[in-house]
Amino acid sequence: MVIDIKEKERKVNSHKKRVNLIFKEHDIDKLIEKVLKTEPEKIIDEIKDSGLRGRGGAGFPTWIKLKGAREAKSDIKYVVCNADEGEPGTFKDREIIEKKAEKILAGMMAVAKAIGAKEGIIYLRAEYNYLIDGLQKKIDVFNKKLEDMKFDFTVFIKSGSGAYVCGEETSLLESLEGKRGEARNKPPYPAQEGYLGKPTVINNVETLVYAALIMLDGAECFKKLGTMSSKGAKVFSVSGDTDIPGIYEIEMGMTLKEFAELFGDSNTKAVQVGGASGFCVPRSKFEETVIGFEGVPTGGSMMLFSDKRSMYNILHNYLEFFVEESCGQCTPCRVGCQQLLKGIESIKAKEKSKKYIDELLELAKNMKITAKCGLGQSVCNPFISIVENFREEIVY
């Protein structure tokens, strides 16, 4: 068993798609100097050229946010680092914060320079409060360094208080402003009107680190990796039924077959790609499914399920999660989540016919087009992918 694990780790670490960018040692001072010397337009061009897209899950092209905020007219602008990593099965940002905080800060500095911001805020989820002291020390050193270099940019931390929806960028802004974390209507986008109504760029922890690395080594180091629509690499959080759970940085574009061969075994029944709000892919579709924006996108969460797991229990757990975490402001999400949960329970208890599942599928599809924010819109991803692929397990 021990040998098996070692062998599995060796196989993963020697795989041709395994890379090491985020956790590699880099000269941070050199990186800061490079950012200082680079013109704002050049920063945006370099990021555009790299093809970097948001690493939090939504995958929005990073350069468009930068350009929007750069062009927005305001004396005050903000950079926000989204460290509200709440998607079930995701823990890569925690590791990056623990081990490579300097690179996050350098990435924030690059964004600040690109858009002309003087303040940066790290919105850290309360579950990671134990990281605050260590992170604050690194921020103090960084802030001092920039002050000495006469670059006007200061970073500080703000804590969340245990609300999943605050990972959604406009909910995060509301929370930063001392309000209930209820999503805003878009437009206006944060790049135009963000924190306190000022132009704001919000990036995920990992996105900022890649932005920093692109500054240091140029767009080429990033875009030579990955596929046409999914450039670069990504840090994956691997958990569930695997012998080697943990953090792995892997090039984009791997098929789930390759992935399951590395992390799973012959009993791997399905992989949940992208957390509770992502897609459940059954073994029969591993070969045709690419991990990336052209296939199944992910913020990094990869949860493996063995054939011993009940898909009903898994879906039930997800729905309980969404019922609790729905902020409640829009009806499709608030009522929809509750009805989906109640619905599968009623079918299981034989209070409703098996056909009722089709009505629930319709409801889930409706939530996708009517819910106000990403939370409610994405509940249909796990619901539909689990019900369509494991219908018998849900209705019998």
Partner 1 sequence: MTEINIVKDAVKKHGRKRESLMPVLQEIVKQENYLSEERLMEIAKEFDLSSAEVYGVATFYSFLPVKPMGENVIKVCQTIVCDMKGKEAVLDAIKDKLNIVPGQTSADGKFSLMAVNCIGQCSNAPAMLVNDKPYINLTYENVVKIIDEYQS
Residue 109, number of CB atoms within 10 A of its CB: 27
CB of 328 to partner 1, least distance (A): 9
125 near partner 1 (CB under 8 A): yes
Read off φ and ψ for residue 19, nearest 5 degrees.
-130, 170
178 near partner 1 (CB under 8 A): yes
Q: Out of 324, 351, 358, 359, name the contact with partner 1 by CB under 8 A.
A: 324
312 near partner 1 (CB under 8 A): no
Query: Residue 303 is encoded by which pair of tokens?
Result: 């949860």
Contact criterion met (CB below 8 Å) for 47 and 214: yes
| Pairwise CA distance, residues 80 & 203, whole Å | 6
Count of residues making up the chain = 396
247 near partner 1 (CB under 8 A): yes
CB of 124 to partner 1, least distance (A): 11
CB of 147 to partner 1, least distance (A): 22
Q: Out of 256, 314, 319, 386, name the contact with partner 1 by CB under 8 A.
A: 314
Q: CB under 8 A: which stretch of 174-182, 209-217, 332-340, 359-367 binds partner 1?
A: 174-182
CB of 60 to partner 1, least distance (A): 23
CB of 197 to partner 1, least distance (A): 12
325 near partner 1 (CB under 8 A): yes
What Rg value do the Cα atoms of the chain yield, rounded? 21
Q: CB under 8 A: which stretch of 21-29, 128-136, 278-286, 344-352 binds partner 1?
A: 128-136
Q: Which residue, 328 or 359, is less far from partner 1 as judged by CB?
A: 328
5 near partner 1 (CB under 8 A): no
| Interface pattern 199-238 for partner 1 (x via CB under 8 A) | --------------------------------------xx
169 near partner 1 (CB under 8 A): no
Q: Out of 78, 189, 222, 321, name the contact with partner 1 by CB under 8 A.
A: 321
Q: Out of 29, 162, 186, 307, name the contact with partner 1 by CB under 8 A.
A: 162
Q: How many residues bind partner 1 (CB under 8 A)?
A: 53
Q: CB under 8 A: which stretch of 8-16, 33-41, 171-179, 200-208 binds partner 1?
A: 171-179
Three-state DSSP string of the chain: CHHHHHHHHHHHHCCCCECCCCCCCCCHHHHHHHHHHCCHHHHHHHHHHHCCECCCCCCCEHHHHHHHHHHCCCCCCEEEEEECCCCCCCCHHHHHHHHHHHHHHHHHHHHHHHHCCCEEEEEECHHHHHHHHHHHHHHHHHHHHHHHCCCCCEEEEEECCCCHHHHCHHHHHHHHCCCCCCCCCCCCCCCCCCHHHCCEEEEEHHHHHHHHHHHHHCCHHHHCCECCCCECEEEEEEEECCCCCEEEEEECCCEHHHHHHHHCCCCEEEEEECCCCCEEEEHHHCCCCEECCCCECCCCEEEEEECCCCHHHHHHHHHHHHHHHCCCCCHHHHHHHHHHHHHHHHHHCCCCCCCHHHHHHHHHHHHHHHCCCHHHHHCHHHHHHHHHHCHHHHHC
13 near partner 1 (CB under 8 A): no
Q: Which of residues 46-105 bind partner 1 (CB under 8 A)?
A: 85-91, 93-94
Q: Which residue, 19 or 276, is less far from partner 1 as judged by CB?
A: 276
Q: Out of 42, 137, 179, 365, name the contact with partner 1 by CB under 8 A.
A: 179
Q: Which residue, 306 or 377, is less far from partner 1 as judged by CB?
A: 306
| Interface pattern 327-356 for partner 1 (x via CB under 8 A) | x-----------------------------
CB of 234 to partner 1, least distance (A): 16
CB of 82 to partner 1, least distance (A): 14
CB of 355 to partner 1, least distance (A): 28
**Under the rule (CB under 8 A), what is the footprint of partner 1?**
85-91, 93-94, 125-130, 158-164, 175-182, 196, 237-241, 245-247, 272, 276, 303, 305, 309, 313-314, 317-318, 320-321, 324-325, 327
